[in-house]
Each structure stands twice: as structure tokens, then as C-alpha cells.
């Protein structure tokens, strides 16, 4: 085919950036997964409800990361091949869906586990403070302060997930734009 691929440069840049971030995510996820048994051996995880959700969501995130790595490698390998443009566009659309699903899973896991972790931490601190001989007023002040911190943290988590979703969609959307340019050139080349 003599037609040039107008989306080649965008797909190459997105692919290279995506491979770098996916590789880092894969390494980080595997390291994190390796620490879970150590935390279990310390008895930390058995006391916190929802910990199994964290492990399951980490495994799902690793699978998604492997998909992203594959998609970005395909972008680099096929950026100049117009006949692969439709395939790349489909991978880009699937990437958007995966980002949304991943964000929803992370949000649900955070909503379920954060209150349990906060309660667990607060109970530990309250036990320690109770042995320190604080008055009932001081304990009540501490409890109210922790509840206020928890409320602010919840609001911050929500804003963080919205921001994370928007940032997470940047590469897949650019991927689709680059692939769409190639799809258009491919369709035009069939009629010329």
C-alpha cells in the first residue's frame, strides 16, 4: 500500500508512553502482590474486613495492565499498517472500557475497605489512648476529629477517582484518534 498512515506518529507516541507506564504498573502490581502473603503472616490482613477484595482487585488490575501492555505494543508494531487500523481502533475502544471498569472496581473496593481500615485504625489508637489515661472529653474530641478527617478523606477519594478516570482516559482516547486517522486513510485508499 502506497498510502501513508496519518495516525502513525500519534500511535507511536501513545504506544511508547503506554508501554512505559504499563510496564511500571506491571512491576509495581507484582511487587505489591508479593507483599500480601507477608502482611498475612504478620496477622495484619485477617483483622481487616474486605482485604480479600483488595487482593482480587489487584489481580484484576494486573490482568488489565497486561491487556494495556499488549494494546500499546500493537500500536507501536502496527502504527504504519493501514490494514491494521480497524483492529487498533477496536483495541482503543476496549481500552476506554477497561479504564472505566478498572476505575469502578477501584472505587468500589475503596468504598468497602476504607471505612473498615479507618475503624480498625481508630480502634487501635483508641485502645492506646485509653491506656494513656485521657479524660472522656479528650477521647470524645479525638473521636470527632477522626470522623471529620474520615469525611474529608472520603470527599478527597471521590475527587481523586474522577480525576484519575479523566487522566486514565487520555492515552486510550489519543489511541482511538490515531487509529481513526488510519481507518479513514485506509478507507480512502480502497477507493483510489
Q: What tens-digit pLDDT sequence spans the chain (192 residues)? A: 446 899 999 999 999 999 999 999 999 889 888 887 776 666 666 566 667 777 888 889 999 999 999 999 999 999 999 999 999 999 999 999 999 999 898 888 888 777 777 777 677 777 777 777 777 777 777 777 777 776 776 667 777 778 888 889 999 999 999 999 999 999 998 887
Note whether residue 1 is domain-resident. Answer: no
How far separated are the first and last CA of the chain, in Å rounded? Answer: 11
- Of 172, 170, 173, 175, residue with least CA distance to 8: 175
Residue 79 within any structural domain of the chain:
yes
Q: Is residue 147 part of a domain?
A: yes
Q: Is residue 3 part of a domain?
A: no
Residue 62 resides in a domain:
yes
143 assigned to some structural domain: yes
Integer Cα distance of 168 and 97 in angstroms: 11
Number of domains the chain is built from: 1
Instruction: Catalogue the long-range contacts made by 1-5 (C-beta closer than 8 Å, 24 or more residues apart).
Output: 1/82, 1/83, 1/189, 2/189, 3/82, 3/185, 3/186, 3/188, 3/189, 3/192, 4/80, 4/185, 5/79, 5/80, 5/81, 5/82, 5/85, 5/181, 5/182, 5/185
Task: Report the length, in residues, of the chain.
Answer: 192
Domain assignment present for residue 2? The answer is no
Domain that holds residue 158: 8-190
44 φ, ψ (degrees, to nearest 5) = -65, -45
Say which residues have a Cβ less than 8 Å from residue 89's Cβ, sequence separation at least 6: 176, 179, 180, 182, 183
Amino acid at each position: 500500500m502506497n498510502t501513508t498512515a496519518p495516525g502513525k506518529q500519534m500511535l507511536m507516541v501513545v504506544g511508547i508512553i503506554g508501554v512505559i507506564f504499563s510496564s511500571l504498573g506491571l512491576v509495581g502490581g507484582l511487587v505489591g502482590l508479593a507483599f500480601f502473603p507477608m502482611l498475612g503472616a504478620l496477622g495484619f490482613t485477617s483483622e481487616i474486613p474486605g482485604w480479600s477484595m483488595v487482593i482480587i482487585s489487584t489481580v484484576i488490575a494486573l490482568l488489565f495492565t497486561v491487556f494495556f501492555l499488549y494494546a500499546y505494543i500493537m500500536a507501536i508494531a502496527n502504527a504504519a499498517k493501514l490494514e491494521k487500523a480497524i483492529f487498533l481502533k477496536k483495541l482503543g475502544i476496549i481500552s476506554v472500557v477497561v479504564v472505566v471498569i478498572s476505575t469502578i472496581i477501584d472505587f468500589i473496593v475503596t468504598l468497602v475497605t476504607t471505612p473498615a481500615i479507618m475503624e480498625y485504625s481508630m480502634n487501635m489508637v483508641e485502645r492506646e489512648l485509653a491506656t494513656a489515661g485521657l479524660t472522656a472529653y479528650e477521647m470524645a474530641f479525638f473521636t470527632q476529629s477522626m470522623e471529620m478527617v474520615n469525611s474529608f478523606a472520603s470527599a478527597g477519594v471521590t475527587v481523586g477517582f474522577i480525576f484519575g478516570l479523566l487522566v486514565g482516559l487520555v492515552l486510550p482516547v489519543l489511541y482511538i484518534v490515531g487509529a481513526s486517522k488510519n481507518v479513514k486513510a485506509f478507507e480512502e485508499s480502497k477507493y483510489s
